């Protein structure tokens, strides 16, 4: 049973067993505008919560996507690197960015649920 969490940095985190899939929220892609470049991490890369992990670039600007939790990258979504607009069109599904094996699942309690995230973006 997968549970979805959110961060104040506008990421979503879907957790199944101890693997988290991370992407940016639809709100975030809307704020960024048309994406033209996505730089993904390396598989095997070890991440600490708060690390700048992915760079997404719109026509106008570059933005970091941060690691929401500690862990190790197990898979990246190369489809977003070859077609960055996938993140715009399907931020919460096919536009996911990377998967990571959690090393500290207790950190999940520090994340937001959907209602908490919606309250932030208003």
Partner 1 sequence: MGTEENLKQLPLDDLHKAANARFGGFAGWSMPITYPLGVMKEHLHTREKAGLFDISHMQLFDVAGPQAAALLARACPLDASALHIGQSKYTFFLNDEAGILDDLIITRLGDDHFMVVANAGNAAADEAHLRGVAKGFDCRIDALDRVFIAIQGPQAVDVLRKAGIAGTDLAFMHGFEPKPGWFMSRSGYTGEDGFEIGLPEADARALVEKLFADERVAWVGLAARDSLRLEAGLCLHGHDITPDYDPVDAGLLWAIAKPVRETAGFIGADALLAKIATGSAKKRVGLKPEGRQPVRTDAELFDADGNKVGLVTSGGFGPSAGFPVAMGYVSKDLSALGSKVFAEVRGSRIPVEIHSLPFTPHRYHKG
Binding residues (CB under 8 A) for partner 1: these are 31, 33-34, 36-37, 39, 55, 57-62, 84
The Cα-based distances of 5 to 16, 64, 105 in angstroms read 11, 19, 12
Specify the residue, 19 or 79, whose C-beta has the smaller distance to partner 1: 79
On whether the CB atoms of residues 20 and 68 are closer than 8 A, the answer is yes
Helix, strand or coil, per DSSP, at residue 50: coil
Structure tokens, 62: 């570059």
**Pairing label, strands 3-6, 19-24:** unpaired
Specify the residue, 39 or 107, whose C-beta has the smaller distance to partner 1: 39
Specify the residue, 27 or 101, whose C-beta has the smaller distance to partner 1: 27
Least distance CB 27 / partner 1 (angstroms): 11
Least distance CB 82 / partner 1 (angstroms): 9
Least distance CB 29 / partner 1 (angstroms): 11
């Amino acid at each position: 049973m997968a549970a979805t969490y959110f961060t104040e940095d506008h990421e979503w985190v879907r957790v199944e067993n101890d693997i988290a899939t991370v992407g940016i929220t639809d709100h975030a892609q809307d704020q960024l505008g048309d994406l033209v470049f996505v730089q993904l991490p390396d598989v095997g890369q070890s991440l600490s919560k708060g690390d700048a992990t992915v760079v997404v670039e719109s026509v106008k600007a570059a933005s970091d996507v941060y690691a929401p939790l500690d862990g190790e990258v197990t898979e990246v979504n190369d489809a977003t690197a070859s077609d960055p607009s996938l993140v715009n069109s399907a931020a919460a599904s096919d536009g996911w960015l990377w998967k990571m094996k959690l090393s500290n699942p207790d950190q999940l309690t520090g994340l937001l649920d959907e209602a908490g995230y919606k309250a932030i973006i208003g």
